[in-house]
Structure 1
Amino acid sequence: MGVREFTIRLFKSEDRSKTYKPLIDILPWWAVLVLFIIATVLFGIAIIVGVFAGPVVLDSHYVEMDTRKNTTTSSRGSIDFVPRTSSHLRYAQYTLDGDHDDLKPLFYGQEQVLATAPTTFSAINQEINFLCYLKSNTSTFSVESEKAFGFQKSNLQFFLQLFGKDEADGDWELIVNGTYSRPLVCTSTSELCDPITLFYESHIRHPYYRIGVSFLNSRELYDNTLIDPHFVKMEFESYNAAYSNWELGWRYSIIFITAPLCIAFIIANIIRSHFVNWATEQKWIGLLLIFLVLYNNPIFALIFTAGNWAFSFINIVFIISFVCFLMFVVLVFTDSLVIPQKDRSFLWFYIPKIVLVGILFVFVITTFTYVRLQEQEDPGYNLGIVQGLSSYQTLGIIVVLIMLVYIFVLIYYLMRVIEKHRMNLLPKRNAWRSKVIWFLTITMVIGTIVEIFLYVFSKDWNSSAQFLSYFMFYSLYVWLITILYWPSFTAVQQEEFDEENNTQAKEDDYFDEMDE
């Protein structure tokens, strides 16, 4: 059979009133196994490429001051010691010429450190984090337990000023001017204390940044020599431009595969049979392919060109929409194995699943909306520094509880499938599908649960391999089930419909015999 004849046969239907079997019903077991192996190999290649060829996710630049050495060092940039004022237009600059034996005025809240970012930023850096490092002075501790565990201050207060400008010779614009509180944790295992998050910018507004900080309640730390009075370090952390381009390239590469596959799948089903004759899975896979395109975000490039927080938020909405819809589809696929199509009423079959996944979607979206609103109201807000049981953490707990309910529901559906399979009450084609779907479902759900927890409790990718593995994991899953449910050349016979519709009667007879 030539390519032309195969293509014609692939998209041609002798009778559109018939229901055509998906490939999963006619492929031999070894062919399905080969598809699994190919998907696994591609997933492994994606991880290897991410580990060995992926760029570093975060790019950090720093400036630091050490009055003991009478020096300032940086990866490029400057750091000054200036009087703390509410104005950024005029200040008297102090140089390290011996006027300051240490940074006592900084820790007493009398003067501030003013640090200019060592590099310029653009929208392609996506976001920026401003960090401050202090040095612990645990060698002065007299008690061994204090030396072993270090110390911490739960509410280190500081006065913060953040400036930005668009031109190198332009005027600084005051962005933030206020007082904040962060925890300070210093352990004996590291000379530097844990970084203090001064400020988080969810999108890049200016190419040039300058930040000023003065500590307001750290006098006791200085007086008790808990911290090194000579040292302070400022760090500017953002997404690496190379990683942003890497992410952009992979997203659009996956879209260029998914979009044609989506169109071909829908056309093949339309030409082959009427919509009412499509299998339940085929109807939802078409939508799932569309959501996969959204997951990879066709407008992702606007994050870099527009430099607006709204496009970053839309990207999160697309990702969560896909993940929640995928979870809904899994419930439908699993439950449809034991419930004949004639018994699947919208009220009792679909509504419970829509409500469960819809609630999950609403609460996950609400958690991110909450963060964005807090950032707009208070530019110094950051999840990493919220203390106590915040509203965000409460929402996160609710998401965890909903996820547990979802897992229990899915386990219940799977147990019903396994039980009916054990009692030989499943139609033959459903018995074969159940084995394939059970394996795919377990694999996908585990990955999805981890994915949701990462997005709820940590919004950052840790590595290029993590990003690529998840995007390829979902893409390969959807591509695989698309191939398995592609309409074949073989129509479903009437006796197969009868067998599926008679499942309930067979089950009743089975239990009647057991009662006797």
Structure 2
Amino acid sequence: MTGVKGPPITSTTEERVRLNASDSANRAFIMRSPAMTTYSQQLWVIAKVSTENTDDETFDKTFHVSVSIEGLTADHKPVTILHSDRAHNRTRHLKCKRQDCEEFIVLHLGFLDYTHYILTIHFYGLESFHQRYTIRDVTFYFKSYNPAFTQIEIWFRFIFLLITFAVTCWFAHSLRAFPVFDWSIEQKWMSILLPLLLFYNDPIFPMTFLVNSWLPGMLDAVLQASFLCALLLFWLCMYHGLRQNERRLLTFYFPKMVIVGMLWFSAITMATWQKINEVQDPTYSYKLDTSHFYGFKVFFFIACGVYLLYLVCLILRAYSELRAMPYFDMRLKFLTLLMLIVLAVSLTITVLRFGVGILEDNFVAELSTNYKNSAEFMSFYGLLNFYLYTMAYVYSPSKGTIFESPITKDNPAFSMINDSDEDVIYGSDEESRRPLNRCRNDDDSD
């Protein structure tokens, strides 16, 4: 089964330190990390405290964590990364129930320069807690990406990148004989989404392992967030555009861009802010160390709520106005079917695998580190690629078709090529009497 599922996403090494009742809770924990390679990508150090408490009470204890970090070169010479005299005291919460306490992140290194790291960790403010409940041991988990998974991820992304490039070139080639004015709204959007899918698959992803910098990782997060927001904008424009006679920039596109732009701004700000602060201090956590995090979180959920409400309204209006027209009814059903499949799979995976994740860096990292194996992650990653490939095939012109306005305007089997979408709805009486459900081969019968 391991061969079918692929290697696990992450690899974890633990180091347990036992404490006696006479030991101080403020002692220094000095540890050496396991061997790291560039394929390990990132390193999280997570701590878990166990007590000898026998009460049934649940408690939340606030304390401080101070960390100093040194990296070991190939010559085993230490290089200071975070000085002990400049180590930041970060606030953490120890949430416990009986003997078990929740895990908490001590530090996170967004990119790895050295094979080994020497960590010196101090806990402050646990003296009274230790005297009352007696800390039995502290377990430190060194968690990073599995190098075997990283190699599969590189090849997986590269294969999808090649396929996307081929599909993009093929789709552009299939439309070369038709003026841009005569493209349907679906085809115009596909000419935008397919190039964005190239960036979603990230052509510079291998640079992450060649350059010791946080920039490639942050750029990957920005590109993926941009593609996902473009897809959200596509759904809004499609459900509104099929029944809209004029699609002006200010009245049609601008309100939708504002709504989706709020989501894009939230994702980009979070990723950029965290990356910049983690470079300066690996112990930084935007959830715990940013006073405005919850306000920012409320803003994000409000933007999501506005988007969903607007999308539902557009879908209901589109079906109420266009369901009696076979051509446009077919387009709506196809668009909705694919969208529901993508959303259903995405939400199902999210509900099954998400929760309060330990490794919360960005959306992709959160996905990958909450999966049981690489096959599940790759299936979700490939979902959007196959979604765009399917739409590119359906919305491409029929092979060997010659452009004729009467045919392309009314033939739904002609891969959505029409002189003007609005002419079919608002056209003349003579045009409205033409059949809307002609077969694909009808145009070759003469």
TM-score, length basis structure 2:
0.82
Partner of 2:72 in structure 1?
165
- Residue 458 of structure 1 deviates from its aligned partner by 7.4
Which residue identity lines up with residue 114 of structure 2 in the other structure? H
1:115 aligns with 2:25: no
Q: 1:300, 1:315 within 8 Å by CA — same for their partners in 2? A: yes
Matched, 1:368 2:271: yes
Aligned mates of 1:194, 1:152 — CA distance in 2: 10
- Describe the SS at the equivalent of 1:138: coil
Contact conserved, 2:243 with 2:322, CA < 8 A, in 1? no
Q: Which ranges in structure 1 are unaligned for 5 or more consecutive residues?
A: 1-48, 68-101, 140-146, 508-516
Determine the C-alpha separation between the residues in 2 that align with 1:165 and 1:238. Answer: 18
Whether the aligned pair in 2 keeps the contact of 1:59 and 1:240 (CA below 8 Å) is yes
Change (3 A) 1:469 1:322: same
Aligned counterpart, 1:135: 50
Q: 2:331 aligns with which of 430, 433, 437?
A: 433
Which residue number in structure 2 is paired with residue 66 of structure 1? Answer: 18
Q: TM-score, normalised by structure 1?
A: 0.71
- Superposed counterparts of 1:78-117, under 5 Å: 102=20, 104-107=22-25, 109=26, 111-117=27-33
- Native 8 Å contact 2:221 2:364 kept in 1: no
Aligned equivalents of 2:250, 2:380: Cα separation in 1: 34
In the alignment, which residue of structure 2 is the partner of 1:236? 142
Please tell me the root mean square deviation across aligned C-alpha atoms, in Å.
2.9
Q: Offset of 1:240 from its aligned partner?
A: 0.9
Is 1:405 matched up with 2:310? Answer: no
Q: CA deviation at 1:498?
A: 8.6
CA distance in 2, matches of 1:174, 1:365: 27
1:63 & 1:502 partners in 2: Cα distance? 69
Shift of 1:502: 6.3
Q: Deviations over 1:54-75 (max 9, x none)?
A: 21111111222336xxxxxxxx
Per-residue deviation, residues 433-467 of structure 1 (Å, max 9, x unmatched): 11111222333355667899975697352122442
Q: Bigger relative contact order, structure 1 or 2, given CA contacts below 8 A and separation 6+?
A: 1
Q: Distance in 1 between matches of 2:58 and 2:240?
A: 55
For the structure 1 residues 65 and 366, does the alpha-carbon distance in structure 2 shift closer, same or farther, using more than 3 Å as the test? closer
Map 1:56-455 to 2 at 5 A. Answer: 56-66=8-18, 102=20, 104-107=22-25, 109=26, 111-117=27-33, 119-139=34-54, 147-153=55-61, 155-177=62-84, 178=87, 179-188=89-98, 191-228=99-136, 231-270=137-176, 272-340=177-245, 343-383=246-286, 386=288, 390-422=291-323, 424=324, 426=325, 428-445=326-343, 455=362
1:296 and 1:50, CA in 2 relative to 1: closer, same or farther beyond 3 A? Answer: farther
- Which range moves more in the overlay, 170-179 or 451-460? 451-460
Q: Deviations over 1:349-391 (max 9, x none)?
A: 222222222232122211212212322343210246x17x832
Q: 1:225 to 1:429 in 2, by over 3 A?
A: closer
Identity of aligned residues (%): 20
Query: How many pairs align?
Result: 402
Structure 1: how far apart are the matches of 2:243 and 2:367? 40
Query: Shift in Å at residue 320 of structure 1?
Result: 0.4
Give the partner amino acid of 1:480.
T
Asked whether 1:481 is paired with 2:357, we answer no
Residues of 1 paired with 2:142 and 2:397: CA distance?
54
**Unaligned regions of 5+ residues in structure 2, if any?**
355-361, 411-418, 430-446
Q: CA deviation at 1:309?
A: 0.9
After TM superposition, the structure 1 stretch with the greater mean CA deviation from structure 2, 449-458 or 169-178, is 449-458
| Cα distance in 2 between the residues matched to 1:57 and 1:441 | 28
Aligned residue for 2:238, secondary structure, equals: helix
Change (3 A) 1:168 1:220: farther
Larger Rg: 1
Contact 2:243–2:422 (CA under 8 A) maintained in structure 1: no
